[in-house]
Amino acid sequence: MVIASFIIIFREVLEAVLVISIVLGYISKINKPEFKKWVWYGTFAGVAASFIGKFLFDFLIGGFEGQAEALFEGFAMLIGAVLITTMIFWMAGQKKIAHELEKRVDVYISSSKKGGIFFLVFISIIREGIELVIFLTAAEFASESLGWLGTILGFVVGIGLGVLLYFGTIKFNIKTFFNVTSIILILFAAGLIAHGIHELQEGGLIPFVLYPLYDLNSIFPVPNPLNENSAIGSILKALFGYNGNPGLIELIGYWVYLMGIISLWIIRSKVKPMNENFNVKTANNEKKMEAS
């Protein structure tokens, strides 16, 4: 759970910080400092709205019991898997993230629409915030262990890396980063699919078929890594949804999703590759060269 929370938080926070860094960097480049405060207004408003969303979501969760709770958890996991999949494909299809953002900033600044800058950043932040709420809720449902350590580390590392990128301290290979984290998140999402199906079965929405299909937990004692209650098994369960005694439907759901999404992701990545190296200063210099 700690590893899963860290990767999810780190990636989402980094995406949000990249948006802020790109917008601020471009505003500085074209010497329009009066628009910077609207970037921060949008950032703070987006963060506040995300916390409100988290509070409302937790309040909603507390109102379910029994089968209704199982159904809610199941749908939350499936929605989390869908959002993770959408995020992976969206990032794989972005060829020039910085240039697209700069074009939108150009439009708003040329027409003196400060509200446009505000909403550009606000929507980016609240989108990441809502995704985080659903992701982490689904991850908590899938594992009994708390991921507070991974959450804190994800925020710190994500913000820290974003700041270094903004000041041009490091050159970031965004393609490699998103490729590696995408593979891990696909495996995590596959686990959410399987666990979500199991919860829907517990809630009576989907029937149990050949459950369990096999039971490695009974065959292998707890120290064995194939037992989901062992140290290694618990990590695999929290991170990738490993189950030592799955049913037929959840096992099919896991592998159909995993094989299908990996195949589509590889195809999408090859068709529209992202820029490999990124930092804010480099992106702005490229924009300047194109204009000349």
Q: Look at residue 255 and tell me whether its pLDDT is greater than 90.
A: yes
Nearest to 7 by CA among 92, 93, 87: 87
Greater pLDDT, 39 or 268: 39
What is residue 291's predicted lDDT score, i.e. its pLDDT?
45
Euclidean distance between CA atoms 37 and 83, whole angstroms: 31
Residue 276 identity (one-letter amino acid): E
Q: Look at residue 172 and tell me whether its pLDDT is greater than 70.
A: no
Euclidean distance between CA atoms 169 and 162, whole angstroms: 10
Q: What are phi and psi of 172, to 5 degrees?
A: -110, 125
User: Could you tell me the end-to-end alpha-carbon distance of the chain, in angstroms, rounded to an integer?
Assistant: 50
Euclidean distance between CA atoms 170 and 188, whole angstroms: 29
What is residue 244's predicted lDDT score, i.e. its pLDDT?
87
Mean pLDDT on 75-104: 77
Euclidean distance between CA atoms 181 and 178, whole angstroms: 5
Query: For residue range 12-44, what is the model confidence (pLDDT) as tens digits?
Result: 888 888 888 888 888 888 888 888 899 999 999
| Range from 11-15, 105-109, 137-141, 271-275 carrying the lowest mean pLDDT | 271-275
Residue 163 tokens read as 């700041």
What is residue 141's predicted lDDT score, i.e. its pLDDT?
67
Q: Look at residue 274 and tell me whether its pLDDT is greater than 60.
A: no
Q: Look at residue 144 and tell me whether its pLDDT is greater than 70.
A: no
Calculate what percentage of the chain has a pLDDT beyond 90: 11
Residue-averaged pLDDT of the chain: 80
Q: Look at residue 248 and tell me whether its pLDDT is greater than 90.
A: yes
Query: For residue range 280-290, what is the model confidence (pLDDT) as tens digits?
Result: 555 555 444 44
Contact present, 209 and 256 (Cβ < 8 Å):
no
Greater pLDDT, 275 or 76: 76
Q: Look at residue 211 and tell me whether its pLDDT is greater than 70.
A: yes
Euclidean distance between CA atoms 151 and 58, whole angstroms: 17
Mean pLDDT on 122-145: 77
pLDDT band at 2 (very low <50, low <70, confident <90, very high): low
Q: Look at residue 257 and tell me whether its pLDDT is greater than 70.
A: yes
Greater pLDDT, 193 or 241: 193
* Inter-CA distances, 272 with 72, 93, 269, Å: 36, 5, 5
